[in-house]
Amino acid sequence: MVANRYEHFVSGKYIPPVSGDYFTSIDPSTGQAIAEVARGDAADVDQAVGAARRSLSSWRKLEPSERGRILHRVATRLLKEADDLARTESIDTGFPLRDCLLVTKDVAARYFEYYSGLADKLGGETIPVPGNHLDYTLREPLGVVAQIIPWNSPLYDGSRAIAPALAAGNTIVLKPAEEAMLTMLRLAEIMVEEGLPEGVFNVVTGYGPEAGAALASHPDINGISFTGSVETGTHVMKLAAEHVVPVTLELGGKSANIVFPDADIDMAVMWAMFAIFTASGQICTAGSRLLLDRQVHDEFLEKLVVRTKQLRVGPGLENPDLGPLISQPQLERVLNYIEIGKAEGAAVATGGERLTEGSLQRGYFVAPTIFDGVKNQMCIAQEEIFGPVLSVLTFEDKDEALEIANGTQYGLAAAVWTRNLKTAHYMAKHLEVGSVYINRYYGSGVEAPSGGYKRSGFGRVDGIEVLRHYTQIKNVVINLD
C-alpha cells in the first residue's frame, strides 16, 4: 500500500473519485510507487465543470484589481514554498532538483506576478465609424476554460496556463498528465489559501482517454488550452469541434539549432548541450537537430562530444546534469528511436544506450546521445523523440540550412548562431517557426509570446498575446442622433 493518496481538488477541497478508483504514480528515478492518485472519468469532470460554472459569475464580476491582488499573493507564496514544491516536482518528474527550484522561483512565481499586473489592464478600444455613432469594444472572459497540460515540468506549464486565464476572469478545470500531477494539486491548495474563491480553479486527475477526453468534449466548456503531442492535440481539436469551442494548441517540435562558421563556437557548444539535454530532452522546443556548417563541423562536434561525455546522469534529487525519462513507455520509445537511428546509418558519436549502473538500475535513464552523419530524410531527423538524443546534420550555405530547418512537419522554434547581423535577420525572416533565438537557445521570459507554425500548433502562450486567447471581443455601437 502506498502511503500517500491524492484526490481531485474541486470547489476548494479534495474530493474522492466518483468511481472510487485510484492509480499509482511512479518516481521515474527509482521506478517505485510514490502515491495513489484519483482516477477521474466523465463523472468527476462533470462535477468540476459544474463547480467552475457556479463560480464564474462572481469571479468575473470581481474587480480586476482584486483578481490581480490574489494572483500576486499566490506568486509570493510560491516563492516561500519553493523548496518544498521543487522537491515534490523533482520526485514526480525526475528532473534535477536545482532545475525544479529555478522553475518554481523564476518561472512559476513570475507568471502569477506578471499576470497579476495585467488583470486590470484588459481594455477594449474606441473605433471611428461613419455617422453620428459611438463604437467601442469590450474584452470579456471566455467563461469556463479546460486546461490539459503535459508532464514535463507541470509547475511551468500549469502556471503559464492558469495565471493569464484567471487574470482575464475565467474559471478553470485543469487535467494534469497522469505521469506527474502532485505539484498541481498543491498549487490548487495554495491558491485557495491565498484567497482564490472556491470553484474558480479545479483539478481532475486521471488518464487522457478517460478524464482528458471527457473534459475536452464537455458541453459546458467555453475554451480549451492544450499542450502535448500532435496526435493528442488533433484529437482534442476534434472533440472541441463538436461544441464549437475555441482551442489553443502548443504541440510537438523538431527544432533546428543552426551554427554558421562565424559563430562563437565555445558559446554555441555550451548552448547546444543546454538545448537538447535540459530535462533529458523532454521539452517540445528542445534543439534536437544541430545544423553545422561544414567548415566548423569537426571542431564543433569534437568539443560537443567531449563535454557531453562529462555530463552526470542520476536521480533528480541528487542534482545531476540529466535525470531520468518520465516513464517506462517513454524509455522504450527513446531506445527504439536510437536503434532506428543506427539502422538508418547514422553514426553514434556518444551515448546510445540505457544506463543501469548502481542507483540507476531501477530508473528510466538513457545516456546523452549524439548521432552524426544524419540526413534530413531520416526518421531521427523528422520525428519528435522527446529524449536526450541529438541529430547532427551539415549544410553548405544559409539557403541549404533553411531548406533543412524548414523541412519537417513541425515549426515550433529554431536558433541561429552568427556574428553577422544580416545573416541573423535573413534566417529569422525565413525560418518557418514561432520563435527564433539568435546566439542563445530558449526564450527570454514570460513576457514574450511563443507558439507554433505548421503541426506545432496555433495560438500563442506567454506575454500579453495569450490574453487574447482567454478573452472574447464584444462590439458595442451607440446611435448618438
User: CA–CA separation, 94 vs 96, rounded Å?
Assistant: 6
* Helix 82-93 with 182-193: angle, nearest 10 deg: 160
- Within 10 angstroms of residue 65's Cβ, the number of other Cβ atoms is 11
190 exposed, middle or buried (CB, 10 Å; 0-12, 13-18, 19+)? middle
DSSP letter, residue 82: H
Backbone angles phi, psi at 346, to 5 degrees: -75, 150
129 exposed, middle or buried (CB, 10 Å; 0-12, 13-18, 19+)? exposed
Is 284 annotated in the active site? yes
User: CA–CA separation, 228 vs 188, rounded Å?
Assistant: 21
User: CA–CA separation, 202 vs 255, rounded Å?
Assistant: 34
Give the three-state DSSP class for 222.
coil
Backbone angles phi, psi at 278, to 5 degrees: -60, 135
CA-wise closest residue to 456 among 406, 409, 390: 409
CA 384 to each of CA 129, 277, 281, 337: distance values in angstroms, whole numbers, following the listed order: 49, 14, 10, 10
CA 354 to each of CA 304, 313, 335: distance values in angstroms, whole numbers, following the listed order: 20, 11, 7
Q: Among residues 89, 113, 178, 250, which one is catalytic?
A: 250
- Within 10 angstroms of residue 79's Cβ, the number of other Cβ atoms is 16
Report which residue type is found at 65.
Answer: S
Q: Among residues 36, 113, 179, 284, which one is catalytic?
A: 284
Could you tell me if 305 and 349 are in contact, meaning their C-beta atoms sit under 8 angstroms apart?
yes
On the CB side of 321, CA atoms within 13 Å amount to: 17
278: cell is: 535540459
User: What letters, b where the CB count within 10 A reaches 16 and e where it falls short, cover 454-473?
Assistant: bbbbbbbbbbbebbbbbbbe
Residues labelled as active-site residues: 250, 284
